[in-house]
Every structure is written in structure tokens, then in C-alpha cells.
Structure 1
Amino acid sequence: NYNDGVGVGSASDGLRILGEERRTERREGVRVAAMIPRALTPRPDILAAIEETGLRYASHPGLRAADITVTDWLHLYRANIEIESAYNPHAVSHVGAVGLGQLMPDTARALAVDPHDWKQNLDGSARYLALMLAEFGDARLALAAYNAGPDAVREHSGIPPFRETQNHVQRVLAVFNRLEGASP
């Protein structure tokens, strides 16, 4: 992922992108860090394209398979884009994932999209996330498959024990919850 921060610095460094980190507390010998996801402000054209693209996939069978509403889908899709790239259409990760949806070149090829064209990248990322929802029938597993690949989720019969993937799922869901709270 473009902004996951995993593998560098302390364990909480990768979480700082979600917002301010409150002071940690010690309770019964356990360290607790509370995170407040901060809202990133995407360019208006990118935000509009995320919504348009999400709506194009609002009738995808994956939404029914995962039993999520169109509103939940739009928030999940946007949250995934926010965590993947921080809304940067030129984002490139250390492993070669590209664009707003951080599509790997092979995935983009399989989806027949140009990952460097940000609108095609959004389309490919929405379609891929919807396909993962259809296959796994669960938003958490779909996010894990989006991040680590569907084979990893199948192999581990659930969210793989990879720190990056576990962090990805938690961070996307934190942004999802923030977006849900902002809904009328």
C-alpha cells in the first residue's frame, strides 16, 4: 500500500496516517493506543469520480453476497481508496502498486485497465473489490484479499497473519466508520 507505513519505525507509525494519535495509557499493564481517523480532503474531481465509479458497481452481485447496502459499498470503496493512496492518483508503492486503488500491474492487466490512468484505476479497483466481495461474501475478507490477494485469504481460511494486511483491514474499516458517521 502506498501509505501503510508498515515495516518502518514503531508499530504505531503506520497508524498515524489515520489521524492524531492520543497519548497511550497503561491499564493493568496493557498499552492502549486510541486512534482518531482524520479526514483527508481529496480533489473534488477525484471525489466525484469515486462516487460515480462506486455507483456504477452498486448492483454488482458482490454487494448482495456480502449483504452490504449501496451506501455501505460507497463508503467501503472510498475508504479503501483513501487508505490505499491517500487520494494521490500518482501514488506508487514500494512493491509497484499504482494509482488511487494501488493496483498491481498483473491485476490491472487482468482487469484490462491502465493503472496509470486514474479513472481507469478507479474502475479497476471498484471492480476488483466487488469481485472480492462476491467471492468471499464478507467485507473484511474482501479487504484482506484486495490487499494480500485472494490466494492468501483462501490459504489461511481467513485474514492472513500478515501485519500489513491486518493493518490494512483495520484502517479501512476505521475510515469506513468515520465516513458512516459523516452520513446524513
Structure 2
Amino acid sequence: MSKILKLLIFLLILGFSKAYADIYKCEDPQTGEVIFTNFKGVFPEKICQVYVKEPRKFISKTGFSSSYYNIDERWFNEVAQAYSLDPALLKAIAKVESSFNPKAVSPKGALGLMQLMPTTAELVGVSNPFDPLESLKGGALYLKKLLEEFRDLELALAAYNAGPEKVRLYKGIPPYSETQNYVRTVLYYYNLFK
């Protein structure tokens, strides 16, 4: 089967899919065969890279299905107002951090809706990072502190991802692709949710 035909089949399936997942392009280094999948580890002998990052056509204007995770969308407005933040910004961070999953745990140990590290959760007074409202409040307070320190949205987002000490060290967005992609992705969703 030709690469073009495989790509067309992939796009056709993607067009009817309701899945919300990254799509990986995996290429066999020996044969050059290309396969598209939403499971990165399915082909360990192949080299896989992100090909499509949660296709934008499937992202709604409100950003998420709150009923799936039992999150009240009004919380974003209430918490944002309490901390003088834009609710669309809080939604964007929650989307990128946990995809609105209040039980999310990252490989690095970040927890909950706003993916707070245990030390950060303690710093902002969050005792249960898996409580979505508590996590949202803690994430908003942390973001507010970062915005006050750095006085720049991109730097505050970089600090939210990599830690404020890294932003201070590099006097800007750290040269980590993860952090640079994080800032771009949050800003993308922020503009989408506005």
C-alpha cells in the first residue's frame, strides 16, 4: 500500500473519529514503511513522532465536556474572578496540563486538574490536588504569583511548566522544547477559548 494511500485512509478515519488523542507518525528505519497511530508504543521497532497534536477541528469553543469529569464550568469564571485572571487562560492551562482530568498524574509526579507538583500544592495551600475545584484555585493562585513576579504571560507560563527558577536562570523561556511547546499550546487554547 502506498504512503499516499495510507495517509488518505488515515485522514478519512480521522475525519470521522471522535477521539481526542495525539496522532503519531511511525516510520520503520529499515523499510521506510510509515504507519499513523494514536498509540506511540505500539511499534517499538519503529521511530514515532507526534504528527497531529489533538486535531483542532475536534476542540469545541468551550473547550471540554465538563460532565465527563464532573467539573462545573462556572468554576473557571468564579476562580478567575477571585484572582483577577481570565477564565479562558485557566481553561487553557487545565486543557494542556490534564485535558480536564482531575485525577491525572504526570510521569514527573504532577497531580490533578492543574497538574500541581506536591511542593507547589503545599505552597498554594492545596491539601487534595485531586479535588478539581481545590486544584483550580491552587493553580490560579500559583499562576497569579508567577504573573506578578515575571510581569509577562509567556514567562509566567514557562515558569508554570519548568519552574520559576529555570526562567530566572535563563532570563526568559528556558531552551527546553517541552516548555517552548507548552507555552505555544497554552496560548493557542487561550485564544481558542476567548
Indicate whether the TM-score tops 0.5.
Answer: yes
Relative to structure 1, the CA distance from residue 4 to residue 105 in structure 2 (aligned partners, 3 Å threshold; closer, same or farther) is farther
Contact 1:4 1:164 in 2 (8 A): no
Shift of 1:37: 7.6
Deviation track 1:7-44 (CA, whole Å, cap 9, x = no partner) reads x631x35x512x25xxxxxxxxxxxxxxx682342315
Secondary structure, aligned partner of 1:46: coil
Contact 2:155 2:172 in 1 (8 A): yes
Relative to structure 1, the CA distance from residue 85 to residue 53 in structure 2 (aligned partners, 3 Å threshold; closer, same or farther) is same
Structure 2 partner of 1:150: 164
Structure 1 partner of 2:83: 57
Ranges in structure 1 where 5+ consecutive residues have no aligned partner: 21-35, 59-69
In 2, the alpha carbon distance for the partners of 1:103 and 1:43 equals: 20
- Is the counterpart of residue 16 in structure 1 residue 69 in structure 2? no
Structure 2 partner of 1:107: 120
Relative to structure 1, the CA distance from residue 145 to residue 133 in structure 2 (aligned partners, 3 Å threshold; closer, same or farther) is same
In 2, the alpha carbon distance for the partners of 1:80 and 1:143 equals: 9
In 1, the alpha carbon distance for the partners of 2:164 and 2:74 equals: 29
Deviation track 1:27-78 (CA, whole Å, cap 9, x = no partner) reads xxxxxxxxx68234231543121221111111xxxxxxxxxxx5xx222121
After the TM superposition, list the runs of 4 or more consecutive aligned residues in structure 1 that deviate by more than 3 angstroms: none
Secondary structure, aligned partner of 2:72: helix
Aligned counterpart in structure 2 of residue 48 of structure 1, from 74, 94, 99: 74
Residue identity matched to 1:149: G
Deviation track 1:71-94 (CA, whole Å, cap 9, x = no partner) reads xx2221211111111111111111
Contact 1:132 1:146 in 2 (8 A): yes
Residue identity matched to 1:43: S
Structure 2 partner of 1:28: none
Structure 2 partner of 1:23: none
RMSD: 2.2
- Is the counterpart of residue 88 in structure 1 residue 88 in structure 2? no
Relative to structure 1, the CA distance from residue 4 to residue 155 in structure 2 (aligned partners, 3 Å threshold; closer, same or farther) is farther
Deviation track 1:115-161 (CA, whole Å, cap 9, x = no partner) reads 12221111100000111110000100000000000000000010001
Relative to structure 1, the CA distance from residue 96 to residue 46 in structure 2 (aligned partners, 3 Å threshold; closer, same or farther) is farther
TM-score (norm 2): 0.68
Structure 1 partner of 2:59: 38
In 2, the alpha carbon distance for the partners of 1:4 and 1:166 equals: 18
TM-score (norm 1): 0.72
Which has more radius of gyration? 2
Contact 1:37 1:175 in 2 (8 A): no
Ranges in structure 2 where 5+ consecutive residues have no aligned partner: 1-20, 24-39, 41-47
In 2, the alpha carbon distance for the partners of 1:97 and 1:42 equals: 22
In 1, the alpha carbon distance for the partners of 2:89 and 2:75 equals: 15
In 1, the alpha carbon distance for the partners of 2:114 and 2:65 equals: 14
